[in-house]
Structure 1
Amino acid sequence: MGDKKVRKKKQTTQPQQEVVETKKSPEAKSRKTAIPIAPRRVSFFQGFRTIWKKEMKGLFYSPIAYVVLGGFILLTSWFFFETFWLRNQASVRSLFSNLPKMFLIFTPLITMRMWAEERASGTQDQLFSLPVSLTTLTLGKLAACLTLILVALLFTLPYPIIAETYGNLDWGPVWGGYIAAFLLGGAYISLGLFISALTRTQIEAAFITIFVGGLLYFLGEPMVTGQITDPAWYAFFTKIGMGARFNSIARGVLDIRDLLYYLSITTFFVVINVSVLRHRKWL
């Protein structure tokens, strides 16, 4: 009889325990799902690499990169071989002297979609919600565009090698010209990114970038400076003109002040680009 009583007690207590457990389990689940999980902020390098990869895929999954590379190779080939075959000169001076004009055409095609497309498609808010800073976003896009410029410049390396084979080429000014061309591309790209952040459409961003970039380029050209009689204004326009500074580099005169000028232009437009994005983020 004692064993039967114990068994009955066990049978009666077990369902009660099960009922208690089933009542607690939904509450426990609701407590777990109610806890918000804040996004973990990634390091600068991780965020920078993620944005760079995203933008590189966007460039090379679209025809923009191939149009830019194809057009750049075609024009640089013409400028080099026109001097090489028609003028019988083994020189790359004509190539470097025309780089600012080519960048003026091709860099707006690269940068026009960077912010304008994000804004038009509604993905800008998703970018702002990422656990990275606005500076990281801007620098990641800048690096992706500069990577495409670097690839384009690498395709021109056979030209000085050919010039070295058939003539006496001084490689010092050549490497200086490549460094200056890369920095010039960075200045144009930072300008294009800033204008793309201000506009809603890619076409609008491209045309405004060409206009402003052309203005900065031609301010130091003889067609403008030749009309100035005041020496102070002449020196001012010569110093702020992108073309005048690069022309001296194309002639083989590498001045550290010219390189710092392009770095300053790039830094300036990156800073105001971040300021525009910060203002828009909190609107």
Structure 2
Amino acid sequence: MTATDLTTRTASVRPDVTPGRRPPWASKVVVNAVLVLATAYTVLPLTWLLVSATKGLGDLYGNPFTLTEFRLFDNVANLAAADNGVYLRWYVNSLLYAVGGAGIGAFISVMAGYVFDKFTFPGKEKLFGFVLLGVLVPSTALALPLYLLASELGVVNTFWSVFVPVLVNPFGVYLARIFSAGYVPAEVLEAARVDGASELTTFWAISLRMLMPGFVTIFLFQFTGIWNNFFLPLVMLSDQDLYPLSLGLYAWHAVVTTQPEYYPLTITGALLAVVPVLVAFLSLQRHWRAGMTSGAVK
């Protein structure tokens, strides 16, 4: 028997799977199973919310798998008319808090991160370390000090008591510094300075355009956080006309046991509260792709 025949025979009898090793298909099954569970964990609550918003009060308190009549549009109409249309006011309040706070806050974070990255000044790293400490402090721990400060300033139970604190975002400053280091080359800034551009003009006309993917990322993070903000408004506000959606829906849900008619209103209101977050992510995701090469040097 030649060496070639021996090699061919050995290859033909060798098993496809080494003893003691997991078959390749087993890993795929495990990964796919984990992905299916993660997807179900994310999608099922939203599916339940969507289905429940189409039900009347009787179906909500009855069998959760039954639907005797489709009442989504009736629930939306009742929601808009409940308590003299206070839900619409809560919706507008949330948009003002979230859109305004996220826009201004993201811009402040981008400017601060840009300064930490591109400029040198005494104590820069120590100050940046102090900013990073703010990331470790939970927002709930700051609610009481913020309330005491707002009380001293006389702005408790006002729009500004909720709007001003959300403008500060230490994590956004950290992200902005990372984006500035990766998206804004020093050669571009040097060329702008040689051409006589001031630092403010350089930032506004050149650097901010390159940092747009970072701005959008910080905006989305901050928008989601402010939209879901609950504890700070709970501490600061007592006037229902200033409530955001999170606090307003909580107030309705608290009286469901004594006034069951608020149950379908709460569920329908929670479903409509998801819409701005979805719209923000779907409409702004293109800026990530468009700006991925914006920092390239020609």
Q: Return the structure number with greater relative CO, CA threshold 8 A, min gap 6.
A: 2
Shorter-chain TM-score above 0.5: no
> Relative to total residues, which structure has the larger helix share, 1 or 2?
1
TM-score (norm 2): 0.25
